[in-house]
Each structure stands twice: as C-alpha cells, then as structure tokens.
Structure 1
C-alpha cells in the first residue's frame, strides 16, 4: 500500500499516526462533517436514504483542490520537508462525525450495517479524491516523483479499486455504486496521465476542530458518552450533550412523547441504560466508547478494518478498553488488527490516567470527586506506602582499608570499613592533633558521611557533590595517583572514588589517576588496529594553498591560548590568576609560577 516505495521506505508516522509516508515530508489535512450531508428524511427507516451523494462528491472535489493549492503556497519547518512535500504532494482529506451519522441512521456502530456504510463513504471519498487528482494531473502534470514510482502508485490505486468491488451494496447501494464508478475513472485516467498527489486521504482525530465543526463525534470515533464533561485548560469543566439522540429516536420510530421521556431519562441518569421507553434491541444504537453501555473493544478494530482498504494513509483512532482488561485481551486486539491489515492502532484503558480530557459521569464527579481528589488520594496513599530509610549497620567484625595521605603540609589517615560485598559503610578520618578544631570538624564530617552510607546514599552521589571543593590546606599530595588536591575533602572523595567506583563511573566524573591520564585510552579499552603503509603504498595528498580567510583563521587560532583554565583550577600564589593544568601540575600563564613541579 506504499505509493512511493521506489523512493524510500516508511519508517515512522506522525504523533497521531494517521500519516505514514516518506521521511522529511508533510501532509495537508482537512475533514468533512458527514452529518451535514444527511437529509432530514427521519421517517426513512431503510438503508441510508437521504445521504447527499452528489453534494458529498462536490465537497470532496472543492476541498481537495484547495488542499492541493496550499501545498505550493505553504511554509514548512525545514527545507528538506518542503522539498519532499512539494515533490510528492501528499494530501490527507478525511471526515468527522461518523459516529453521529450512524446513530442518526439508527445503525449500531458495532454492526455489519454500520461498517458497510462507513466503508462505502470512505471508498467514495478516496476514489473521487484520486479522480480529482488525476484530472489535475491532466492539466498540471503528475507529482514530481510519479514516474520513478509509477508501478507502485498505479498498483495501490488498483488495489483500492478491487476492494471497492468487494463491498456489500445491500445497505448503501447508491454510495457503493458511486464509489465504484469513481475508482474506475480514477484508475483509467491515472494510467494515462498519472495523479497529482501521492496520497489523498487519511482519517485524522479532529479533536479540536470537531468542536468548531459542530460535530457530536470526532473522526471515525463513536461518541464517548451521551453526556460527557470536558476539562478546560484554564480550569473548570464544560458539559457536552449528544444532540443526535432525538434524531435517532425519530428514525427508529419513537413518537414525540416517547422521545421526550427518553431525553429526560438521559438528562437525569447520563445514560440510556434502564430507560423503560427504549426497546432492548435499540440499546446498541446508543452504545458509546465508555460508560455502562460500552462498545466492545473489538468493535473499534472491526470498524477500522472496514475502512482501511480505502484510505491512502492510516487511521488515528482510540480503541477504548475497560479498566479490567487483561494482557491477553490487549495481545489479541493487536493480533486482530494485524489480521485486518491496519497500519496503526492506539489503545486506551479506562482510568489508566489520573486526569483525562473527557470524563463520563455527573458534573460533581469532575469536581468534588474528580481527578483533583483522585490525585490527592493517590498522593496520600503513595506517601503512606513509601518506606522509611533503614540503617544497615556493618557487621561486628568487618574488613577495612586504611591509607595515609598528605595534602600540602597536612598529614592524615583514613580508615574505610566495608560491608561483606566490599562496599564502603563507614569512614574514620584522623588529621592534626586530637582536640583541635580541624580534628573535630573532620570527625563530625566522617560521622555524617558514615551515616549517609549506612542509610543507602550512593558513594557516587557523595563524590559528585564534594569533589572540587576549594579551601586550605590544598596543593601537592604524596599520592602517586592524585598529585593535586584543592582541599582535604576533595582529596578524600577522589581517593574513595579511585578505590570503590568503576573506571566508567570515574570517567563520567572526570576523576582519573595519573597513569590513566597519560594512557591514550581508558582502562580496559583496547586500541583499534590501524593499517600502516609505507613507501609507494602511501597515497600522496595534493598540496593545498590556504585561502586568505583560511590563513587569517589559522593565525587567530595560533594566537589563541591552546588550553582553557579548568573550572576547579587553583589560583596562582604569586599573582592570583587562575592556573592551567600542565600534565599532573598547574602553571600560571601570567607569571610562570607552578604548583610545585616544572
């Protein structure tokens, strides 16, 4: 079904999933309100009498032509998208209010009759759109990529025509016949002159524009509920009542008294279920996506399968599933969608989100007991179930590591107690003389660090937070792995990182030993073998003479400093300027002083 397969494959869709075509392309969408083409012959109880086939075809032709004109006059996000779109001229004509149309005809959404009507309308819409596209190609020429994709384009059109021949014309004979005629003429003319557009139709969701088009239902969807409440962005709710119910009742033969009684029941109970004035055999006509009279989720899939053979693109539609749906149910739904040849499927399990745009129920449920209260209850429950941190003490007898260090003129010892798995669980730091301020501060810090480790704080979090702190004493160390430290805390956590963090974690934190900094690759990473060639095997590069602009750029780069001062570089003890790293030391670029090595 890909009309431009010789140019490229289909790798993705738009977020709503109705547009599936070449990469870096766009589709100009438009939708028709189907209910506006249904006449007022409510007493006609047979078939789809009253649908204005001629008016529908005229609307398809006018809107499709307007869409085609806009392709060349539109602006696109990128030049690549603009080039592809102008070369293939994809259009996406569709419709809305199908659910209301079927209800007005007295046909259940999940019925063979309802699917036959939807398929016949879709077939006529796409067939007449391609007929219009072929007529425009006769005057304007086919789309730029037509000749390269002539075979797949004409093959897809023929597949559409063959699907139209298989339609059951018992329910909507006039629509089916008009559709078959449109497909015959479209294919015949396309064989001779091509088509102006590589795609003609999709079924978009029409969520917002459906309200502006005065639709009771959006896209190919049935009604969500006979009475629903829409949450507004600025706060508050808006009640939306299905206005097609009276028309459907009259179509089904109910008089004015019975119709008024049913409407009063719906207004009070928000549903038709339980209404004594509605016959049981008519309940399916008023079935909705959600509520206590729901359409089975397979009914959504079957409706999509009925119209998919007559669409250039895909269908943006929600397959509503009940809250108690199982994994097996979801799996079977996707398998059935695959069997029916659907290009895209989207499911929604009821109440799977704290707040949803449309809700079913009375207005009080959307305020006092609505999503806000639900969110508060969920938050309260989650907070109640959150476990308090538990301290995991070290065993009475445990292994430990002790290492001696010197930072500038400050000497000290660090002892790290370990859990059975080798993770650090406690830290003791001894610096200066017992009773001094420095010793007391470091003891308090070590106790705090030990408690954090025992309560589950990752060592990496401590390392990330405390490395780079700058205060005296700072400078050279006697550690061959870490030659410079900006403070005792900086050295302590970098040493712990070297001992207990993986090389990958240390590389992310930019904590490398002296040997690792001088090693060309990271530890454990082998250098790739590079083929060496000598003598005549080495191709000679032709000499190039730089232009004036390139020469000026080279001079500016040569004058610029080769390295930039590190964010945690120490300040020069002589002039106070930030120093730059030179190997394992730091050097001042102003006065030439070093941090202790030359």
Structure 2
C-alpha cells in the first residue's frame, strides 16, 4: 500500500530500474491515482492525468508513429505486435525500434545493409523518414512525459504533494530540496537510538558547497549520520529517471578536426641518470633518458637475475611507458596509477629516501616522482634542501666527467687547551625531527608499505591510517 519505505520520498514518479542481467524495468508510482482521488478529482480527470504521466504504451492513435504509418513503411502485423509488446518497459520509443529488437530479417527486408544497422549510432526511425520532432511528439504520448507538471485538469496548488527526490523525466523542473531531507531526518532522529538509513538525494548540478552545507546543517540538527548521493555521479546507477539524448555532431566534428598525436622523438644523444637499488633483496637498475629541456622521455628497467620471462615483461613495460611519454601522456598520470601496486618482489629498499616498496613498479615510480616531479610525499625519508638543489642542478646543467686525481691525506690539527666550537645547525623542520624520533623502531605498514609511527603501545600509519599491534 506504499511506494517507499519510512520517511524516504519517491525517487521519481516514473523511474527505470537497471537489471543485473541487462535491460531495464519500468516502475510507476501507484499512489498517484489514490492521491488524486483523495484530492477530489473525477475518474475521467484521474485517467487523463495518469495517461499524461505514464503514457499509453500503445501505438493506437499515436501521432505520426502508429500502426497505419508503420504498415506504410513495410512492417507486418506480427512485427508491429512485437514492437508494441515492448513499449510498456522502455525509456524512449527509439528503444522499441532498436536493431536488436526489430531483428536482422526485418531490417534486411526493409532495405538496410548489415554494416549499417549494426552501427551503434544507427537510428531506424530517422532512417525511415521520421523527423526528430515527430519522434518526440509520439514519444510523449506513448511513453508519457514522466512528470505530473503540466498535466491536464491538475490544480497547480497540488503540485508540491507529488514532489520527488529528483526531477521527474525530461520535462520535470520541481524536486525536493536536499535540505528538506536533512530536516525530515532531524524530526525523526530524537525517537531513534541509531542513525537513520536514508539518503539525501542531490541533483546533478550540486556543488561541493552544497554538500558542505548539508553536512554542517546535519551536525547542527543532531543527526548521527548523513548519506549523500548526487544523481549521475556513478557510471551505472540502479534507478534512472530519463535518458540523455544529445546531438554530438559539433563535438564529433571538433574531435575529427583535431590533429593526430605526434610522437616526440628522443635525441640521439641524451642525458639521464642510472639508479641502482635492491627491492626485497633483488637488484634493479633504473635508467632514464631525457629531452633537451630535462623532461623525462624514456625509461629502462634492468633485472638481469630475475629470469627471462620476468625480465622480458619489465622490458616491455618500460617500452610501453616510454612510448606513452613520447606521445604526450603526462608523467603524473603514470606516477598516480602505478605507485602502491603490490606484487612480489617487494620489501625494504636500500635507497636514501625510499625505504620500502610494495613492488618493483611501485619503487620505479616513487623514484621517478621524486626525481622529476619533486613528489616527496611518495618517499619515506624526506629529501633535504641540499638534495633537492642537487637534483635540480643535475637537470639544469649537463654532467661532465673529469680525470680522477689522488686525494691528499687529510690534514689533522690538534688545538691544545681548548675545544673547537662547531656552528650549531637549526632544525629545518621541527615536525620532521619529531616524527623521526617516533619512527626509530617502527615497522613498515603491512597495508601500504609506508613507515609507521609509535602511537602509545601501538604503531599507526600516517599514510593509510592502519593500526598495528593493537586493534
């Protein structure tokens, strides 16, 4: 006897539930006729309003697109019956005329070639000569407008009674303000011992400021929990109110007008660096190649004792990354994607700044992020200012080799009677020094590999929040 549970408003008067096995199921609010009857509307007026909302689901007497016009286009009665049988559960009338629903035999009999109707952009109704305006007018009658706004006989003062969590259909303008969800929960919260299982629905155009305001107001009103959902924020969502049909002609032309990606070739003689390290006891060499401006253009990964298969995979991976860099893929994308990848070998690293890595790939991109992007957040030991300057200078000026000269023995001088005072060095970062004392005996995090810090009798990871040794 109800369409929703508890204090949850309806998602929309007409919505479509996405099925796990594919397809959609049309759900229509069953309380609308009862509400209209309670408001004093006649049976004829109720029937007109309901038809306006949900449509006729029939080709009979539909404008432009009906049995007569379809017979004139070459459809048989059996094919028309098949089309009409699908109208009850479709978003849009074009779904009933999809190539999958019509069938190859019918399409070929109508004169369409296989390569044409298998194109995902194929529009059968348009190909049959129906204009976009004619299709839309027929769709409004057959599938309905999915909103009660603008319905015949309806008193505008009654519109708030039928407001839903989202705009109803493509023509709907009204919806419950997100803050009304919060205030409704606040009215019920004093009577409940726990939090309320209810979602605050936000429209697609909701901003970060709107979300901040909802959380702040929920805190002020004493709510124990607030759950938000912005319409369309996920690639796939269980309930939908409409389909988005956009004309992408201009966008397609703009994409077609863009030039093809050009590969930026590396110079024949280039600079870079070679870094040797051990990851979990396995020696790995990283070699880089740079453009004239010092930006990274290629990498080489050498693990000569790891077997032919693993070594070959690492070589192919390095080539793929190098090609991406040369075709313009930002280095930051690689660093963000491949850090924290976990597979063997993993473990401690004998690098001045990187002390633990969850895989060879994780180590490689931590090192690249540090050397070429200054990403000190990816290393366990922050580089000093002198190290950062050395890295910057090594990229600004080419490295030149010079003959090795024998060094003179150190000159030792003993000052009798007094101690030579050394200049006191001031800590550059008090927080870093404090954390260093807390990390002296701390193990590596068993979740992300970062160094942990002492937290009472336990250890906690400042990177992922994991707790070790206690809870």
Q: Do both proteins adopt the same fold according to a TM-score greater than 0.5, normalized to the shorter chain?
A: no
TM-score (norm 2): 0.39
Could you say which structure has the higher helix fraction? 1
Point out the structure with max Rg over C-alpha. Answer: 1
The alignment's TM-score, normalised by the length of structure 1, stands at 0.32
